[in-house]
Amino acid sequence: MIGVLRAAAALYRGHLLALLRSRTAAYFTLLLPLLFLFIFGFVFGRIAPGNFDRLMPSLFTITIVSGSLFSVSIRMVTERETGVLRRYRLAPVSALSIVLAHGMMAFTTMAASVLVQAVVARLVFGFGIHGSALALAEVVALGGFSLVPFGLVVGSVASDTKVAPMMTNMLMFPLMFLSGSAIPFALLPEWMQRLARLVPTTYMVESLQAVIVRGLGPLEVGEPVLLLLVTGFIGVAMNAMVFRWEGTERVRWRNVLLATMVLALIYVVAFYTEPGLHIGQGFD
Amino acid sequence: MIVAVEGLERRYGAVRALKGIDLALEPGGITGLLGPNGAGKTTLVETLEGLREPTAGRVRVLGLDPIRDGKKLRLRVGAQLQSTSIPPDLTCAEVLGIHASFYPRGRARPVAEVLERVALTPKARALVRTLSGGQRQRLALAMAILHGPELLLLDEPTTGLDPTARRGLHDLVRRLRDDGCTVLLTTHYIEEAEQLCDRVVVLREGGIVADGSPFELLQRAGGSSTLWIACSGPFDPAPLIAAGAAPQGVDGAHHRFVTRDPAAAVVALGDMLRGQGLTLTDLRMKRPTLEDVYLELVGPEPVEAGDA
């Protein structure tokens, strides 16, 4: 296991160095999240003045979603497509190291984006947290943990660098629009508020809101946090079932389907048990 | 036995890429797999690497099964793929550092030492994207020898390199052999097989058609030699013809003969000169090259359907 981690750490360092040497990556990691922040701040801030802190859970959720899903799948597909993975395979490195390194990388860029957003939001818009910063960090980490595995799954399943962003978009749109992240939850019609219980991002917004607005500790949030955790674990298991070293290996769609069904089942249960959500409340 | 392959077959759908290969490699030496494109060289090497599963037959590398014992084998075998892609935004030293982390601690040699070995020390901090083709191949070789492998599998290590870069790589491979590493490489350069390899295995359409040292292959194939003879005056070629040399006409002052037994022809020539009171003014001989032998074995390049 130590060997697996050592290899993952070395691969992770390599990803990080390559990212720091490329300008487009810096753009997607830092500039784009800031652009989002300003659009949110000026547009929605105007609709609901004095409610800036209430907007931040939605904004963070968008950043976590895109940061967890987007570049990781492209990086993985590129490595497979260009034969980097095939070359790695000739050495005694385990697939776990490779997936882990990509996961840590996605997590890092996501966390960096959120951090930049939070700092700039504080300086420009006076964003403040009612709970502790640590609690916020924990919930952001949890959000990343729940979604990064699915970015990795796309990286293993997608056939090339054109398909990967398409698949990511297909994942991202329901995650953003069905939850209260792209549009404030309170503005969604009631049927959509119900449907929102079927996607993990709703619980992400809820958890973030709990620590930012209501000042709860992450463990006090309850079911939403639990759901994110379970989602992440299923995603991790899914990765073990779908990883591919080479594009010539068959995609194990049956495993993808199986894991998706388990996940769907959990969210259907959540849908019917209706864990109490606070994100619809409090907009004056 | 370093490599033991018996009755190896590999099919891709209806295509039989390997048709019952038997191959044994003793420790040491450089063995070249020579053959045209599509002969099955890469399939054979990648089967030994454990990247491809055999359809039938038995494969043992260092006594291990490349599929089942893949992890164990990879600690002892070094390999270079035909088209190696190396992350372009990392430096040579970083790439080797990452590869070193794949092996148990202490197993991989220090990066600086390996870079020195492949003459890339000045490029240690250069990004991979800035390397020339030859430097990239040397880096790929460095990745393959990082852990001091007992067997080195190189798939077309010199394809696309200029003659100088190719010579440099040959020297490197020879030095590895001299250090006791067994090398198996594929090539479609005949001169490479002749200059570099201690043993040449010629593949054609998924089967082995010849196997031996370059010298042995030349002997065994017994191609025809050409003799050009120029004498002080006209001569009667009967003794030469009796010795198996066939007259082929005249090139200026030279009479041309073709023979499968040049030694007998030269002896007969001496007798002829003495018997007819002539002196030899010039003698030239062209022995069959490995290329002639190879073309005889492999046949003309097949014209693929749809190529026009």
B226-246 confidence digits (pLDDT tens) = 899 999 888 889 999 999 899
The predicted structure's pLDDT at residue A178: 80
What mean pLDDT do residues A43-66 have?
80
User: Could you tell me the sign of the dihedral formed by the alpha carbons of B10, B11, B12, B17, in that order?
Assistant: positive
Nearest Cα residue in chain B from A95: B102
Domains observed in chain B = 3-76+149-219 (3.40.50.300), 224-287 (3.30.70)
Identify the pLDDT of residue B307.
38
Cα A132 to Cα B245: distance, rounded to the nearest angstrom:
100
Confidence band (pLDDT; 50, 70, 90) for A280? low
Provide the whole-model pTM. Answer: 0.86
pLDDT above 90 as % of chain A: 51
Chains A and B: how many Cβ contacts under 8 Å? 66
Whether pLDDT at B303 is above 70? no
| Angle subtended at Cα B249 by Cα B247 and Cα B255, rounded to the nearest 5 degrees | 80
Specify the pLDDT at position A49.
Answer: 58
Rounded alpha-carbon distances, angstroms, from residue A156 to A71, A118, A151, A233, A251: 13, 32, 9, 17, 8
A214-223, B205-214, B255-264, B292-301: least confident range: B292-301
Q: What pLDDT shows up at residue A115?
A: 94
Written in H, E and C, the secondary structure of chain B is CCEEEEEEEEEECCEEEEEEEEEEECCCCEEEEECCCCCCHHHHHHHHCCCCCCCEEEEEECCECCCCCHHHHHCCEEEECCCCCCCCCCEHHHHHHHHHCCCCCCCCCCHHHHHHHCCCHHHCCCEHHHCCHHHHHHHHHHHHHCCCCCEEEEECCCCCCCHHHHHHHHHHHHHHHHCCCEEEEEECCHHHHHHHCCEEEEEECCEEEEEECHHHHHHHHCCCEEEEEEECCCCCCHHHHHCCCEEEEEECCEEEEEECCHHHHHHHHHHHHHHHCCCEEEEEEECCCHHHHHHHHHCCCCCCCCCC
Residue B222: its pLDDT value, please? 64
**Residue A48 binned pLDDT confidence (cut-offs 50, 70, 90):** low
Q: Is the pLDDT of residue A52 over 80?
A: no
For B105, which residue in chain A has the nearest alpha carbon? A3
**Residue B197 in this model has a pLDDT that exceeds 50:** yes
A22 inside 8 A of chain B by CB: yes
Chain A residue nearest residue B95, CA to CA? A14
CB contact under 8 A, A10 and B104: no
Task: Tell whether A150 is within 8 A of chain B (Cβ).
Answer: no
Judged by average pLDDT, the poorest of A24-28, A81-85, B49-53, B164-168 is A24-28
Q: What is the pLDDT of residues A137-161, one digit of tens each?
A: 999 999 999 999 999 999 999 999 9
Q: What pLDDT is recorded for position A129?
A: 83
- Return residues 92-121 of A near B (CB < 8 Å): 92-93, 97
Band of residue B20 on the pLDDT scale cut at 50, 70, 90: very high
- Looking at residues A100-127, what average pLDDT do you find? 92
Most confident residue range from A126-130, A268-272, B74-78, B84-88: B74-78
| Residues 6 or more apart in contact with residue B66 via CB below 8 angstroms | B47, B48, B49, B50, B59, B73
Looking at residue A189, its pLDDT comes to 81
The residue with greater pLDDT, B220 or B14, is B14
- Cross-chain residue pair B71–A92, CB shorter than 8 Å: yes
Instruction: Name the more confident of B289 and A12.
Output: A12
For residue A88, the chain B residues in CB contact (below 8 A) are 102
pLDDT averaged over every residue in chain A: 87
Return contacts of A5-8, CB within 8 angstroms, 24+ apart: A5/A97, A5/A100, A6/B101, A6/B105, A7/A93, A7/A94, A7/A97, A7/A101, A7/B101, A7/B102, A8/A96, A8/A97, A8/A98, A8/A100, A8/A101, A8/A104
Mean pLDDT along residues B81-86: 85
Quote ipTM for the complex. Answer: 0.87
pLDDT of the residue at A81: 93
Give how far Cα B165 sits from Cα of B84, B168, B171, B276, Å.
Answer: 17, 5, 10, 54
* Interface touch A91/B103, C-beta < 8 Å: yes
pLDDT tens-digit series, residues A185-233: 777 788 888 888 888 998 898 899 888 888 888 778 888 888 999 999 9
Q: With a cut of 70, say whether residue A276 has pLDDT above it.
A: no
With a CB cutoff of 8 Å and minimum separation 6, the contacts of B7 are: B20, B21, B22, B56, B57, B58
Q: What is the pLDDT of residue B115?
A: 96
List residues in chain B touching A: CB distance below 8 A.
Answer: 49, 51, 71, 74-75, 79, 81, 83-87, 89-90, 94-95, 97-105, 127, 143-144, 147
Angle of the A133-157 helix axis to the A253-273 helix axis, nearest 10: 140
Chain B neighbours among A 71-90 (CB < 8 Å)? 79, 82-84, 86-90
pLDDT of residue A275: 63
Query: Is pLDDT of B305 > 50?
Result: no
**Is the confidence at residue A284, as pLDDT, over 50?**
no
Give me the mean pLDDT over the B273-298 stretch.
86
Average pLDDT estimate for A84-112: 95
Query: Are A155 and A75 spatial neighbours (Cβ–Cβ below 8 Å)?
Result: yes
* CB-based contact, A18 to chain B, within 8 Å: yes
Q: Which of A104-108, A130-134, B218-222 has the lowest mean pLDDT?
A: B218-222
pLDDT score of B186: 95
Pairing verdict, β B225-231 and B280-286:
antiparallel
* Alpha carbon distance B46, B61 (integer Å): 12
Residue B306 banded pLDDT, cuts 50, 70, 90: very low
CB contact A208 to B (< 8 Å): no
